[in-house]
Structure 1
Amino acid sequence: MFDLTNPDAFRRRAAGASLVLAPLCLLLGMIVDPLEAGGDDVLGYASNPAATGISATLLHYAWVLWVPGVIGLVHLVRRRGVVLAHLAGAVTVLGLINFSSLMIADFFDIVLYQRLPVDQATRILEDAAQPAMVVAWQIPGMIGSFLGLILVAVAYTRAGRAGWWFPVGVLAGMVVWLVGARSWNPVFGYAGPAILLAAFGAVGVAMIRMTDEEWNPAREPVPA
């Protein structure tokens, strides 16, 4: 499937596969998350360290895997939507990288709530939210990831690569997932990533099935 000697085929298939794997990891990460599975507070992390670690790892790789997928989407935007694609793509990639790093906080939750009283552990985590982390990590991570993915989908659609169901699906999936994640509601927490998997998965599969000429109209013949 991944021909290392053909740059167009490799990059196209890698980007398409990433668009499928990223929301799939997000969905699996939410399913494994102890809080989404029925826990009622952050103590669920300390009580289920294995599940928490698996969930945090899956969520981390969800954001990481979206990066090559976004680069692939931007690559395919030509003429209409180019400026939007370039700006949104840059913001999204930076946001995804920032947001993936925040998943490490779950591992600190495990240790703090296992070894310290709840009030003390909570105060430490609250004090750790320094202005630099909030302004330079959290806000760019969240805005870049969520809004950026939607805008990239809009640019991709404006270029005629997909129907408007794509950005609508991304928007709906993001909103539903955020509602579920903030309220620890499993129904919304699972439904949002499932919608994202359907939207990005359809585009990712279409990208994998493209010809090398569709991926790169100006491509040079691959040496034998």
Structure 2
Amino acid sequence: MVDSRWRVAAGVACLLVGSVGQLAQYLVTPVLGGDAAAADQIREVAAHLPQMRLALWLDLAVLLVVPAVLYVGAVAGRSRLAAAGTVLAFLTSLGAIVLVAGDALYYEAALRADQAGSAPLVAAYQANGLVSGLLVAYLLGHAVGFILLGIALTRARAVPVWAGVALCVSPVAEIAGQASGTSALAAAGYALLVVAFGACAVALVRTGLPGTGVSAAAGGPVAATTLRAT
């Protein structure tokens, strides 16, 4: 029973810290979006080193979105739609482990005295087949996966309808904002993810993990801490 409560607490932490950290990282990072040239990326990072250092730490929080997807799937239930969305979003989100390494590369290149000499290496990283392939898979996978999960959450009535809609719209707004260079739209997408994941965290506290019969609301010190956090 105690173990189940800790797993609920871990899920709430992944959902909240992961989504909020991702939004904060986007607002803080000086890395240019879109198809900016490597030399431009390096110059921008070099001009904002304190912000980049903070962004690197926030990358750790971003990685919590990966396990958070599994908890969203658990809240959505055992439907085929939920299973498909969970598998698709989770497997493609694993690429984030490699993709966030680009931030460290930009930072180290910006510290070099010969920034121009570092640009070809950064450009080669951006053009690398594995990196570009993981990026495409991540964007498509989490977009389709989150939409499927949002529909599954709504159908199962696991969260309010607005939360399911927020999860569906989140990746669309994020990708559209990034592609068009509209930072406000991209930020809105990340904010919608915070809303959706927050609703899933509340549902997780109230109902617990499927199959355990235990929710954080059942009592105990971990439950109290989790409820205060939400």
Q: TM-score range by the shorter chain?
A: 0.7 to 0.9
1:100 maps onto 2:94 in alignment: no
- Tell whether the 8 Å contact from 1:150 to 1:170 is kept in structure 2 after alignment: yes
Counterpart in the other structure of 2:58: 58
Which residue identity is paired with 1:9? Answer: R
Alpha-carbon deviation of 1:207? 1.9
Deviations 1:176-215 (A, max 9, x none): 333433455442343222222122212212322x145xx4
1:116 maps onto 2:100 in alignment: no
Paired with 1:198 and 1:164, the residues of 2 have a C-alpha distance of: 12
Counterpart in the other structure of 1:132: 130
Which residue identity is paired with 2:122? Answer: L
Q: Please report the TM-score for the alignment, with normalisation by the length of structure 1.
A: 0.76
Deviations 1:107-131 (A, max 9, x none): 212333444354x544333323222
Unmatched segments (≥5 aa) in structure 1: none
- Tell whether the 8 Å contact from 1:19 to 1:69 is kept in structure 2 after alignment: yes
Counterpart in the other structure of 1:90: 87
2:28 equivalent among 32, 55, 61: 32
- Tell whether the 8 Å contact from 1:60 to 1:101 is kept in structure 2 after alignment: no
- Tell whether the 8 Å contact from 1:84 to 1:155 is kept in structure 2 after alignment: yes
Counterpart in the other structure of 2:3: 7
Deviations 1:145-201 (A, max 9, x none): 333222222222222212432332123332333343345544234322222212221
Distance 1:78 1:6, change over 3 A: same
Distance 1:77 1:32, change over 3 A: closer
Counterpart in the other structure of 2:159: 162
Alpha-carbon deviation of 1:60? 4.4
1:72 maps onto 2:68 in alignment: no
Deviations 1:19-44 (A, max 9, x none): 222220011112211257xxx94221
2:210 equivalent among 206, 216, 220: 216
Which residue identity is paired with 2:23? Answer: L
Distance 1:49 1:183, change over 3 A: farther
Distance 1:217 1:34, change over 3 A: closer
CA RMSD of aligned residues (A): 2.9
User: Number of aligned pairs?
Assistant: 206
Alpha-carbon deviation of 1:61? 2.3
Distance 1:217 1:189, change over 3 A: closer
Distance 1:60 1:174, change over 3 A: farther
Paired with 1:219 and 1:141, the residues of 2 have a C-alpha distance of: 34
Counterpart in the other structure of 1:146: 143
- State the identity as a percent: 22
Deviations 1:80-99 (A, max 9, x none): xx222222212222222212
Alpha-carbon deviation of 1:132? 3.1
Q: Please report the TM-score for the alignment, with normalisation by the length of structure 2.
A: 0.74
Alpha-carbon deviation of 1:8? 2.5
